[in-house]
Amino acid sequence: MTGPVLTGQWLTPDRGRRLLVVGPSLGTGVVALWQECSHHLGDHEVDVLGWDLPGHGDGEPSGEVFTVEDLGRAVVDLVERHRPGAPFAYAGVSVGGLVGLALATGRSGADDRLTGSAVICSDAKVGTADGWHERAAAVRRDGTCSMVEGSRQRWFAPGFVEREARDTAALLTSLEHADDESYARVCEALAVADLRPWLTKVSVPVLVLGGRHDQVVPPESQERLAAAIPGATLVIAEQSAHLAPAEQPREVAEVLAGWLDEEARS
């Protein structure tokens, strides 16, 4: 097995500026999740390259087994195709955040090209193996459309759905249109993903960015994660739940840009 080949796209023009690679959460396309935040990052002289999970957004469906570490290696390959040999920083949400930890702990072959990793609304271990296997079975049986209502309740902070109907619809539509088998394979990757034993091996700057209203990875989990990673920075977005870049795009962009500036000075 060679692992997945990821579909990537520039979310800002590629102007040869500092590079930030951004990753999605389970059930979302990277454009729906990151587009507005990326627009604000472009104002901070950052070029943003996004990638989609298999069968999500523009990603090619996959029925093969893969791990979070495999996704990290695929991110490195993606960067090589778009910016050969270039250093890059990384920011990912939920499963995308786990991929960032795989990169930061050296489990995915980023070597010295990775300059820092922002772990957003994620943890070194998310959920339980039984829970992920149950969700994979449910999606294979009933399709990703069966996940929409539960995700509407988990993903967004109070008031967001009513206030931002268009953004809510775009994110939930990306879930509904995700390939069932690919979604199930991501669930199975999450079932076995556990990067806790390697957190002390992180040698690049890490930003842990959580949402105050996140039910999936609550703030106390973010605090424990940041405490376990040497030198990590912790920020809690007060008006966000599980999809911070979509819920607070300008604020998240400012936090990321400030972190990138600090990383460049260190």
Domain ranges of the chain: 7-265
CATH number at 7-265: 3.40.50.1820
Residues 6+ apart with CB under 8 A from 180: 55, 139, 140, 143, 144
Residue 10's pLDDT band (cuts 50, 70, 90)? very high
Q: What's 66's DSSP letter? A: -
Residue 1's pLDDT band (cuts 50, 70, 90)? very low
Strands (E), the chain: 7-10, 18-23, 46-52, 88-93, 114-120, 206-211, 233-237
Specify the pLDDT at position 225: 98
Tokens of 72: 């990290």
pLDDT in tens, 84-120: 999 999 999 999 999 999 999 999 887 789 999 999 9
pLDDT in tens, 28-44: 999 999 999 999 999 99
Residue 2 predicted with pLDDT over 80? no
Residue 58 predicted with pLDDT over 80? yes
Specify the pLDDT at position 152: 96
Task: State the pTM of this model.
Answer: 0.97
Strands (E), 59-180: 88-93, 114-120
For residues 123-148, average pLDDT: 98
Residue 178 predicted with pLDDT over 90? yes
For residues 214-227, average pLDDT: 97
